[in-house]
Amino acid sequence: MSVTAAQGFTAAGVAAGIKAPGDGGARRDLALVVNQGPSTAAAGVFTANRVKAAPVVWSEQVLKGGQVSAVVLNSGGANACTGPLGFQDTHATAERAAEVLGLNAAEIAVASTGLIGLRLPMDKLLPGIGTAAAELSPHGGEKAALAIMTTDTVHKTAVARGDGWTVGGMAKGAGMLAPGLATMLVVLTTDADVAAPELDAALRAATRTTFDRVDSDGCMSTNDTVLLLASGASGTAPEAAAFAGAVHAVCADLATQLVKDAEGASKDIRVEVTGAASEEEAVEVGRSIARNNLLKCAIHGEDPNWGRVLAAIGTTSATFEPDQLSVAINGVWVCKNGSYGEDRGQVDMRFREVTITADLAAGTGSAVIWTNDLTADYVHENSAYSS
Amino acid sequence: MSVTAAQGFTAAGVAAGIKAPGDGGARRDLALVVNQGPSTAAAGVFTANRVKAAPVVWSEQVLKGGQVSAVVLNSGGANACTGPLGFQDTHATAERAAEVLGLNAAEIAVASTGLIGLRLPMDKLLPGIGTAAAELSPHGGEKAALAIMTTDTVHKTAVARGDGWTVGGMAKGAGMLAPGLATMLVVLTTDADVAAPELDAALRAATRTTFDRVDSDGCMSTNDTVLLLASGASGTAPEAAAFAGAVHAVCADLATQLVKDAEGASKDIRVEVTGAASEEEAVEVGRSIARNNLLKCAIHGEDPNWGRVLAAIGTTSATFEPDQLSVAINGVWVCKNGSYGEDRGQVDMRFREVTITADLAAGTGSAVIWTNDLTADYVHENSAYSS
């Protein structure tokens, strides 16, 4: 599992003291993932937020070269909105890792997560890199996954196996989950022998319909980073379609884990839009439904309030006629042709997963957006302390 | 105060039995406002939601003629997403009012508010019109304002007086408060002698910078209706600017009352965007900030979490450079030039009103959007029962 499922990778996760100690003492807050090669081909996808954290600016630059030999990740601070000094901190992080590992800083990606607007405690972070390097192991993937957690309640890992090759990965993310991407750090590794352009194509195709369709709370992060590193250590060059399928599978698995662990959520809501004029319009409508606070509250209350679905659809520019919209909740078509349909009393909403299907009757486009309900726990978790 | 502050208007608010009885017995749920003339000039602004309730479709048609002699309003049901039969119900409502009042149905506007997707109990609503007509009075404005309440905790009225003429009004609205317009029914009346085109111009100008800039929860209603009726009973034709000013003042007063009574809110947040390339971009940025659930939770927790403001700005397409953004919370510039600024410990957030100022440093455009915090009470109020 995790980033060390594939051959050619070592990883570590240590407590560097960046995070304040928890109830159980020091918490892991620094992860290191190293690609031992022979290849160091890599691809990356980053937040679409125009306010980008320093490590995103740095890593985007690194990824332009298509080669990543190591990734340093920290929780306990996002290093976002920290100005030129914050960027220097990221640069120093890459330099220290390069020094410790005998690598080139230009091939070291950096990712951070935590509170925006605070400088990182570099007096703790830099020595932590040395500690992590000393603990690097082909079995270190789980510890690395633990070290990147913030408000996550569980660490997230996934793996998919091909014929002689493997794709594995880890993710963190529990809040600020919205497209472009959800708030998350993800590192995927593979021992397949795949060049950077093909890694990029597979990664973009996979994130477009997985992480980019998780819209837990409509809030887009400054730090989202998804990296895919290939060591080529299996000596196998898979077919493009098989490889893309494995990358998609791992992304889909991790994205589902993000939804299930979203801050304060009690329901996972699958918003399924069908009959759209295009996939793009289906996504627009799905997001509008997924972001409707009133609907998210209703789902929390196990109330199949389809009127709020229609009100959300009505704010979009998608192609539809109001009197041809139909909505099912958990398979019961409570709204048909823009008006009341089957008895809403038939809708069983006791389980955690809820499916809302909106049929626009305007074409054959479709999309699925994943979101969560809005709960008092979400409010508590996001108001009781800075995060 | 209310719709009978101006001469030439009578109103009533009665309990027709559309709403279920409350703790104190039957609740007012049907309001009637009648323009006694001599003029019946009128203007209206309606929801921008493409899923429009039957009474909105009806009243938009009525307003095309620029003449309204009476308005029937009900709470207890939105008559939205009720199909052709729902539209027949609205039509029958106007016909019954016309019959009882000796007027033409084509000059009777209808407005409804309440749960989407349920037919109105016409066996109660139609007789209620007769009851209301019998109670019409030049002092009936307060009762009419009471009859249109849904989750409102207080009824809302306002008045502005010119030189020999008056503009008054009533509003309801507490949830689904977002632009285009907020969820609300508003009836404004004036005894000024103003023709329909000038009423329309004054009303659109006023709503654009008042009701349209209230964005409590980002959810747009299917039923929003703002009407302005002029009786001409004062015999005075005010200057256009003075009249527009009075209409704006009443709209601003009522919009403020909507914000202060928003469902479950504990803070009223004034989002002030300055230095934008245009007013339009300032509004875009203001809305993005106002709709950020994480920020709304932070404000609830009295946490001056400016990083969430920057993250929200970063999702817009407005003109700005990330390293030139500055943010003040209650006057303390906690973010300067895209990075940490003054000590956030200086920010006093104990009071209900919170001001967030975002300076884009890109021009001279500015706008103010009003929103509320996100609270456990909001979740409770919108999940515990259908509304």
* Domain extents in chain A: 2-260, 268-383
Q: What topology does CATH give the domain B2-260?
A: L-amino peptidase D-ALA esterase/amidase (3.60.70)
Residue B380 is encoded by which pair of tokens?
A: 């409770």
Note whether B2-260 and B268-383 share their fold.
Answer: no
Measure the CA–CA gap between B301 and B295, rounded to whole angstroms.
Answer: 10
Q: Give CA B72 to chain center in angstroms.
A: 17
Helix axes B83-101, B122-134, angle to 10 degrees: 20
Q: Is the peptide bond before A38 cis (omega within 30 degrees of 0)?
A: yes
Cβ-Cβ contacts under 8 Å, B180 against chain A: 315
pLDDT 10s per residue in chain A (387 long)?
799 999 999 999 999 999 988 777 779 999 999 999 999 999 999 988 888 999 999 999 999 999 999 999 999 999 999 999 999 999 999 999 999 999 999 999 999 998 888 999 999 999 999 999 999 999 999 999 999 988 788 899 999 999 999 999 999 886 554 444 556 899 999 999 999 999 999 999 999 999 988 887 777 888 899 999 999 999 999 999 999 999 999 999 999 998 888 878 899 999 999 999 999 999 999 999 998 888 999 999 999 999 899 989 988 999 999 999 999 999 999 999 999 999 999 999 999 999 999 999 999 999 999 999 988 887 887 776 665
B222 — phi, psi (to 5°)? -90, -5
> Which one of B176, B296, B299, B315 would you mutate to disrupt binding with A, by most A Cβ within 10 Å of its Cβ?
B315
CB–CB contact A116 B322 (8 Å): no
Measure the CA–CA gap between B340 and B333, rounded to whole angstroms.
Answer: 9
Reported confidence tier of residue B111, pLDDT bands at 50, 70, 90:
very high
Average pLDDT, chain B: 92
Q: CB-CB: which of B218, B301, B313 is closest to A293?
A: B218
Cβ-Cβ contacts under 8 Å, B175 against chain A: 294
Rounded to a whole number, what is the distance in Å from the CA of B161 to chain A's nearest CA? 37
CB–CB contact A338 B52 (8 Å): no
Measure the CA–CA gap between A132 and A13, rounded to whole angstroms.
Answer: 6
CB–CB contact B382 A306 (8 Å): no
Residue of A183, A189, A190, A225 marked catalytic: A183
What 3-state DSSP class applies to A109?
strand
Cβ-Cβ contacts under 8 Å, B303 against chain A: 383, 385-386
pLDDT tens profile B313-370: 988 999 999 999 999 999 999 999 999 999 999 999 999 999 999 999 999 999 999 9
Measure the CA–CA gap between B126 and A251, rounded to whole angstroms.
Answer: 58
CB–CB contact B293 A374 (8 Å): yes
Chain A residue with minimum CA distance to B376? A376
Measure the CA–CA gap between B31 and B353, rounded to whole angstroms.
Answer: 33
Does B340 contact chain A (CB < 8 Å)? yes
Q: What ipTM does this complex have?
A: 0.84
Q: In A, residues 366-385, which contact B (CB 8 Å cutoff)?
A: 374-376, 378-385
Does A343 contact chain B (CB < 8 Å)? no
Does B289 contact chain A (CB < 8 Å)? no
CB atoms near residue B349 (< 10 Å)? 17
Find out whether A81 and A43 touch, Cβ atoms under 8 Å: no
User: CA–CA distance from A158 to each of A169, A187, A210, A248, B376 (Å)?
Assistant: 5, 11, 14, 11, 34
CB–CB contact B50 A322 (8 Å): yes
Cβ-Cβ contacts under 8 Å, B382 against chain A: 293-294, 297-298, 301
> Which one of A115, A354, A382 would you mutate to disrupt binding with B, by most B Cβ within 10 Å of its Cβ?
A382
Rounded to a whole number, what is the distance in Å from the CA of A178 to chain B's nearest CA? 11
- For the question of residue A151 being annotated catalytic, the response is no
Q: In A, residues 134-173, which contact B (CB 8 Å cutoff)?
A: none
Report the pLDDT value the prediction gives residue A179, as an integer from 0 to 100.
Answer: 44
Cβ-Cβ contacts under 8 Å, A52 against chain B: 314, 322
CB–CB contact A338 B81 (8 Å): yes
CB–CB contact B385 A301 (8 Å): yes
Does A325 contact chain B (CB < 8 Å)? yes
Cβ-Cβ contacts under 8 Å, B305 against chain A: 116, 386
Does B361 contact chain A (CB < 8 Å)? no
CB–CB contact B339 A298 (8 Å): no
Question: Which CATH superfamily hosts domain B268-383?
Answer: ArgJ beta chain, C-terminal domain (3.10.20.340)
Residues of B annotated as binding site?
150, 172, 183, 263, 382, 387
Rounded to a whole number, what is the distance in Å from the CA of B315 to chain A's nearest CA? 5
pLDDT tens profile B176-208: 544 455 568 999 999 999 999 999 999 999 999
Q: CB-CB: which of A180, A293, A306 is closest to B117?
A: A306
Report the pLDDT value the prediction gives residue A386, as an integer from 0 to 100.
Answer: 60
- As a whole number, mean pLDDT of residues B122-149 equals 97
Q: In B, residues 4-63, which contact A (CB 8 Å cutoff)?
A: 48-52
User: CA–CA distance from A117 to each of A15, A302, B120, B311, B341 (Å)?
Assistant: 22, 38, 52, 11, 9
Does B355 contact chain A (CB < 8 Å)? no
Neighbouring-strand partners of residue A340: A335
Parallel, antiparallel, or unpaired: how do β-strands A9-14 and A166-172 relate? unpaired
What 3-state DSSP class applies to B56?
helix
Residue of B183, B207, B210, B225 marked catalytic: B183
Reference B119, options B199, B176, B68, B54; nearest CA is B54
Does A292 contact chain B (CB < 8 Å)? yes
Reported confidence tier of residue B258, pLDDT bands at 50, 70, 90:
confident
CB–CB contact A301 B340 (8 Å): no
Report the pLDDT value the prediction gives residue B176, as an integer from 0 to 100.
Answer: 54
Report the pLDDT value the prediction gives residue B179, as an integer from 0 to 100.
Answer: 43
Report the pLDDT value the prediction gives residue A241, as an integer from 0 to 100.
Answer: 96
CB–CB contact A303 B383 (8 Å): yes
